[in-house]
Structure 1
Amino acid sequence: MATALSLFPIVLLIYLMTKKNSVPSFKALPLVALILYVLKMAYFDVEANLVNATVVEGLLTALVPISIVWGAIFLFKTMEYTGAMDTIRTWLNGVTTNKVAQAMIVGWAFAFLIEGASGFGTPAAIAAPILVGLGFPAVRVAILCLIMNSVPVHFGAVGTPGWFGLGQLEGIGPMQLLEIGQKASILHFCAALVVPVIALTFALSFKEVKKNLVFVYLSILSCTVPYVIAARFDYEFPSVVAGATGLVLSAFFAQKKIGLAREEGEVRVANQVSLPALVKASFPLWGTVAILLVTRIKQLGVKPLLVSKTPIMEVSLGSFGDLSLSRSLVLSLQHIFGTDAGWAYQTLYIPALLPFILISSMAFILFSAQKAAVNRTVSESLTQMKKPVMALLGALVFVKLLMLGTAQVEANTIIIGKALAEAMGTQWKFFASYLGALGAFFSGSNTVSNLTFGGIQYSIAKNLGLNPLTILSMQSVGGGMGNMVCIHNIVAVCSVLGLSNQEGFILKRTMIPMLVYGAIVGVVGFIMLAG
C-alpha cells in the first residue's frame, strides 16, 4: 500500500500532463504537491510540523531554478535587443547553413561545454534560444536540447554529480571516484552512438539527418572520444575538455563541409562577420562560460569565497526559524518550525546574478543599449516568468515531500527504490540506471539522484554480489539520462522559449530516448559486470 500511494501522485502527474487535453504544469504540479501533502499526514503519519517545514523549504528552494531561468531569459533578451544575436546568426549561417550541422554545433557540442562548466539545467536554457533564432521550431528545439543534455552530465558542473553526489558514500574515495567516472564515460559513450541521432530526428526529418550522418558522427566522436580519454585521468573536467574540443572540431568540420551533404543549387553564404565583431557579439556567451569556469574550478580558489556560510548577520524569526546572511551573501534559514529543515541560497554561486545578470549588464554597456531596449528586456523577461514560477514552486514542494523521511517513516523515493529493486531481483543490473533516472525525474539533478539512491544502489550491489562501482556508475549515468524527462527541466526550457502548455507533449517524446538510453546502459553494464 505504501508503494502504491508513493507512486500515485507521480502517475497522476504524468497522466495529467500527457493526456489528450493535458493540464498545464503550473496547475498539475501544485495539485499533486497538495495531494502528496495530504498523504504525508493522513497515511504516512509524518508529523504535521515537519511536513509544513518541508513545504516552506520547497517553496524557498524553488528560488534556485526560478532565478536561473529568469537569468537565462534575461541574457537572451539582452542579446536579442542589443543586436548581438543577429551577428551570431549571421556568423553561424556563414559557417554553415546546414540545419543538422547547426543543431550539432549548438545543441550538442556547445551544450556539452556549458554542462561541464555549470550544470543546473543551464545548457538547454542557453542553447535552445540560439537554435530558435536560427529558424528551428521552438517545441522541437526544446526536445532536442533536453535529449542532448544527458551524455556530459556525470561530469557536469565540474564533476559535481560524481565527487559530491557519490563521494559521500563510505568507502568511496578518489580512486573509486576515478573508476566510477571511467565506467560512466564508457556507458555514456555507447549511448551517445545512438541517442543524439534520435534527438536530431525530433527536430529535423530523418532523411535530412541520414544524408548528413557522417558529420553527425564526427561531431559526436569529437566530444565523446576526448570525454573517455579525459575520464581516465580526472573525475572533474572531462565534460569541459570534451565540450571545448568538440565545439572547435564540429565548427571546423562544418566550415570545411566534411561529412555534410551538398544540396543541388547550393550557394555558399559568405561569412561577412569579422573576428572582432564576432568576439564582441558573442561576449554574452563566452563571458558566461568564462565566469562559470572561474567560479567552479576549485584549484583557482574562487568558489570558497562565493559559498562561505560564516554569518555576518543573524536574526531569529521565532518559531519560523533562524535567518542569517554570510559575507558571501549566502542567505540561510535554518530550524524551520523548530525542525531540521533548512534552506540556503548561494547568491553569488547559483548561475543567476553571476553570470547572467552581470554579463547582461556589461553587454548593455558594451553595445551602448538604448533605455528602451533595457526596459523591454526587463519587462518581457518578467512577464515570461509568471506561469513558470507557479510550476516551479509546485515542482520543488512536490520533490521535497517525496524525499521527506524520518527515522520511523521512509521517504517515498526510498520506498519506490526498494520496491523496484525487490521486484527486479538478480536482473537489477539491467534496471539500475532507471532508478537513477527516477531520481533525476523527481529532483531535476543528477547530484541529488546520486545522493538519494547511491546508498541503495551500493547496498543492492553488495547483496547481489555485483561490482558496486559499476552499479554506481550506472546509477549516475541514469541520473544524466533522467534530465530528459525531469519535469522542472522541461518547465525551465519551455519558460525560456516562451512555450505554453507543451510540457506534457515534450515529456511523452523525451521518454522514448530515455528508455533507449537505459536499455543501452543495461546491456553495456551487463558486459562490464560479466568481464
Structure 2
Amino acid sequence: MLLLTAFSAIVAPFIFLVLFRMPAKKGMTFSAIILLLLASTVWGVHNNVIVASILQGSHRALTIMLILFGAIVLLNTLKHTGAVDRINEGFRNISPDMRVQAIIVGFLFGALIEGAAGFGTPAAVVGPLMVALGFTPMAAATIALIANSVPVSFGAVGTPHLVGLSNIPGIMGIAAEDLAARSTFFHEIAKRVTSMDLFIATVVPSLLVFVLVFFFSKERKMSNAFAMFPWTLSVGVVYAATAFTVAHAFGPEFVSIVSSLVVISYASVTAKKGFLQPKEIWTEALVDGFKVEAKKSDMGLFAAWSPYLVVVGLLLVTRLVPAIKKFTQTNVDLTWRNIMGIEGINSGWQVLYSPGTILVIAALAAILIQGKSFDCFIKASKESIGSVQGASLALLPTLALVQVFTNSGMNANEFVAMPRYIAIAMAAGLGGVWHNVAPYLGILGAFITGSATVSTLTFSPIQYDVATQMGLPTYVVLAQQVMGGAAGNMICVHNVVAATAVVGLVGKEGDVIRKTLGPCIVYGLMIGIMGIIVAGILG
C-alpha cells in the first residue's frame, strides 16, 4: 500500500492526462486530490504540512506565471513592432526548411537559453518563436520540450551539477570546505556526462527531425527525415565534441552556453550553403493558412533579434557578475520562508533575478531599440494575460501535488518522504541492473518535481548509495542521474503546462506528453547503454 501511495503522484497524472486525455487543469486537480487524501490517511502527513505545501505550490506557481508572461509578452511585442516578420525573413534566408528551423531554434537557441537561465525557460521562449515561424502549436510545443534535454544536463551555468549534487555529504571523503576537491568532483561528473553525450547528443538532432516528420507530416514519409540525417548528425557531432572539450577543459558551468554558440554558427552557415542538405524543402509542419509576408521588412536583422540578445546578456550578467547577482537576489525578494511556521517549507522568488522579469525588460527594450510606440507593449501585455490565466488553473493543482509529495517526510508515522521511498524500493528490486535503472529514477524525479536539479538533489544520495553497495562506478551513476533528470524535462507536467500555454494549447497537455513520452523513454535507454560503456572505459 505504501508503494502504491507513493507512486500515485506519478500514476494518477499519467492516467488522467495521457490515457484519458483530460486537460491538465482537470486531470491534475483529480491527481492532487487523490495524493492529498492518501498522504493524509496512509502516509500520515500532518494537516498543517499539507496546507503549507499547498501554499508553497501556489507561491511557486506565481513564479512560473511570471516567466510565462514574460515569454509571451516578448513575442507579442515583437509581433506588433514587426520584428517577428524580420526574424522570419532571416530564417528563410538561411533555410525555409522547417527541419532546419527546428534544429536552429528549438535545439540550439533553446540550448543557449538553457545555459543562461534554465528552470524551464527555453521551452517557454522558443515555443512561441517557432509558432511565429509558422509551426503548428502542437509541433512547436513538442519540439521545444524534446529539444530541452541534452543542454539541461548542465542547465543554468552548471546548476544541476553544482547544486543538484551538493547534498552528498563527505562524498569520496571531500569536506564541504574543500572547494578545490569539490570542483574536481563536479569536473569528473561533467566529463562522464559529455562522454556519454558523444553518442546521445550526436543523435538527438536527428531524433527531433524524426519526431517532427513522424507526427506532423501529412504523409509520414520517413524518407523526409532520413534525408536530413547527414546534416543533423553533423550538427550533433559538432555539439557533442564542443561540449566534451569544454567540460574536460573547464568543468560544467559553460558547457551549454559555449556549445550552443559554436553550433549555431556552424548550423547557420552550413544550412545557408546547403551543405549535406536535401534538395527538397520540407514545410509540412506549417500551420494551415500561414502566409509568408511578401513585403520585405525595413528593420535590420540585428535590431529584430536584439531583444533576445538582451535576454541572453542580462541572464549571463545576473548570474556571472557577483555584484549584480547579489543585487538581483537581495532586492525585491518575495521569497516565502518557513510557511505557516514550518521549518524547511520555503518558496523562493527573487523577482529581479527571475527570467520572467528579464523577458519583460527585453520586451520594453525592443520598443526603444526598434523605435516603436509604447502602445505595442501595452497591447502585447493585454493579449498575454489571458494565456497566463489559463495556465494558472493547471499549475496550481500540479504544484500542490508536487510539494505535498516532496514534503511527505513530515509525517506522524516516521516514514521517509515518498520520493525517497520510491527510490529505495527500486534500488532493492533492481540493483543488479542499476546502470539501466539509474536514468529512469532521474526521469521520475524530474517528472514530478519539474526540475532536473531538484531531481538530482532528491535522488543523488540514493544513487550514490546503490552504486557503492553494488560496486558500480559512482561518477558514472551520478552522471546518469543528472542526464535522467534532464530527459525528464520532456514529460514533466508543469513544463508541459508551460509549453502548451505559451503556444495557445491550454488543455492539450496530455496530447503533448503522448508525443514526448516515447523520445523520453528512448533517451533513458541510451543513457543506460552509454553508462555501461563509459563505466567500462573510464570507471
Alpha-carbon offset, residue 282 of structure 1: 0.7
Q: Do the aligned partners of 2:391 and 2:506 also contact (CA within 8 Å) in 1?
A: no
Q: 1:395-436 CA deviation, whole Å, 9 max, x = no partner?
A: 111111111113822111111111111121211111101000
The correspondence of residues 259-408 of structure 1 with structure 2, limited to 5 A, is 259-263=276-280, 277-297=300-320, 301-308=323-330, 328-340=331-343, 341-353=345-357, 355-370=358-373, 372-404=375-407, 405-406=409-410, 408=414
Residue 117 of structure 2 corresponds to: 118
Compute the displacement of 1:101 (Å): 1.5
Scaled by the length of structure 2, the TM-score of the pair is 0.90
Residues 49-448 of structure 1 mapped to structure 2, 5 A cutoff: 49-172=48-171, 173-204=182-213, 205=217, 206-233=222-249, 234-263=251-280, 277-297=300-320, 301-308=323-330, 328-340=331-343, 341-353=345-357, 355-370=358-373, 372-404=375-407, 405-406=409-410, 408-448=414-454
Aligned partner letter, 1:18: V
Question: Once the two structures are superposed, what CA deviation does each residue of 1:355-405 show, in whole Å capped at 9, x if it has no partner?
Answer: 111111121233343455333211110011122101111111111111111
Alpha-carbon deviation of 1:42? Answer: 1.3
Instruction: Tell me the SS of whatever aligns to 2:355.
Output: coil
* CA distance in 1 between partners of 2:269 and 2:459 (Å): 41
Aligned mates of 2:105, 2:269 — CA distance in 1: 13
In 2, Cα distance between equivalents of 1:263 and 1:509: 26
Q: Provide the rounded CA distance (Å) in 2 between the counterparts of 1:337 and 1:345.
A: 17
Matched, 1:5 2:5: yes
Counterpart Cα distance in 1 of 2:499 and 2:116: 18
Provide the rounded CA distance (Å) in 2 between the counterparts of 1:352 and 1:130.
Answer: 16
Q: 3-state SS of the aligned residue for 2:35?
A: helix
Amino acid at match of 1:156: G
The residue type paired with residue 13 of structure 2 is L
Contact 1:92/1:102 (<8 A) preserved: yes
Paired residues for 1:480-495 under 5 Å: 480-495=486-501
Check conservation: 1:440, 1:480, Cα contact below 8 A.
yes
Q: Superposed, which structure 2 residues align to 1:10-25 within 5 Å? A: 10-20=10-20, 22-25=21-24
SS in 2 for 1:334: coil
Aligned-partner Cα distance in 2 for 1:400–1:85: 38
Partner Cα distance (2:13, 2:45) in 1: 22
The alignment's C-alpha RMSD in Å is 2.1
SS in 1 for 2:50: helix
Mind listing any 5+ residue stretches in structure 2 that lack a counterpart? 172-181, 284-292
The alpha-carbon deviation at position 131 of structure 1 amounts to 1.9
- Note the C-alpha offset of 1:271: 12
Tell me the SS of whatever aligns to 2:334.
strand
- The alpha-carbon deviation at position 147 of structure 1 amounts to 0.8
How far apart are the structure 2 equivalents of 1:417 and 1:493?
28
Paired residues of 1:94 and 1:272 also in contact (CA < 8 A):
no
AA matched with 2:398 = A
State the alpha-carbon separation in 1 of the partners of residues 187 and 507 from structure 2. Answer: 42
| Distance in 2 separating the partners of 1:188 and 1:103 | 20
Mapped to 1, the partners of 2:188 and 2:455 lie a distance apart of 19
Query: What is the rounded CA distance, in whole Å, between the counterparts of 2:63 and 2:18 in structure 1?
Result: 26
List alignment gaps of at least 5 residues for structure 1. 309-327
**Which TM-score applies when normalising by structure 1?**
0.91
Residue identity in the other structure for 2:391: P
Q: How does 1:466-477 map to 2 (within 5 A)?
A: 466-477=472-483
Q: Report the alpha carbon displacement of residue 35 of structure 1 after superposing the two structures with TM.
A: 1.9
Identify the range of structure 1 (239-248 vs 124-133) with the bigger mean alpha-carbon deviation: 124-133
Q: How many angstroms apart in 2 are the aligned matches of 1:344 and 1:147?
A: 27
Letter in 1 for 2:335: S
Q: Report how far residue 148 of structure 1 moved.
A: 1.1
Structure-2 change in CA distance of 1:91 and 1:158 (3 Å): same
Identify which of 455, 458, 481 aligns with 2:461: 455
Q: Which residue of 1 aligns with 2:175?
A: none
Shift of 1:193: 3.0
Aligned twin of 2:532: 526
Within 2, Cα distance between the matches of 1:301 and 1:259? 46
* 1:321 equivalent in structure 2: none
Q: How far apart are the structure 2 equivalents of 1:435 and 1:413? A: 10
- Post-superposition offset of 1:272: 6.5
Q: Distance between the aligned counterparts of 1:88 and 1:410, measured in 2?
A: 51
Q: Which residue of 1 aligns with 2:179?
A: none
The answer to whether the 8 A contact 1:46-1:409 is kept is no
Q: CA deviation at 1:258?
A: 0.7
Distance (whole Å) between structure 1 residues aligned to residue 170 and residue 295 of structure 2: 55
Q: Distance in 2 between matches of 1:147 and 1:210?
A: 19
Distance 2:415 2:536 in 1: 37
Residues 469-499 of structure 1: per-residue CA shift (max 9 Å, x gap): 1110000000001111111111111011011
The amino acid that maps onto 2:386 is T
SS in 1 for 2:353: coil
CA shift in 2, pair 1:133/1:336, >3 Å: closer
Count of residues in correspondence between the two structures? 505
- Matched with 2:37 is 38
SS at match of 2:356: coil
Which one-letter code corresponds to 1:343 in the other structure? Answer: S
Given the superposition, is the C-alpha separation of residues 305 and 168 from structure 1 closer, same or farther in structure 2, using an over 3 Å criterion? Answer: farther
Deviation at 1:332, TM superposition (A): 2.8
Cα deviation, 1:278-318, whole Å, max 9, x if unaligned, reads 111111111111111111125x542122223xxxxxxxxxx
Change (3 A) 1:463 1:277: same
In the other structure, the counterpart of 1:316 is none
Residues 194-242 of structure 1 show CA distances to partners (whole Å, capped at 9, x for unaligned) of 3332222222353222222221122222322111110102220011100
AA in 2 matched with 1:399? V
Contact 2:205–2:233 (Cα < 8 Å) also in 1? no
Question: Deviations for 1:175-198, whole angstroms, at most 9, x for unmatched residues?
Answer: 111000110112233222333322
For the residues of structure 1 that align with 2:29 and 2:97, how far apart are their CA atoms? 42
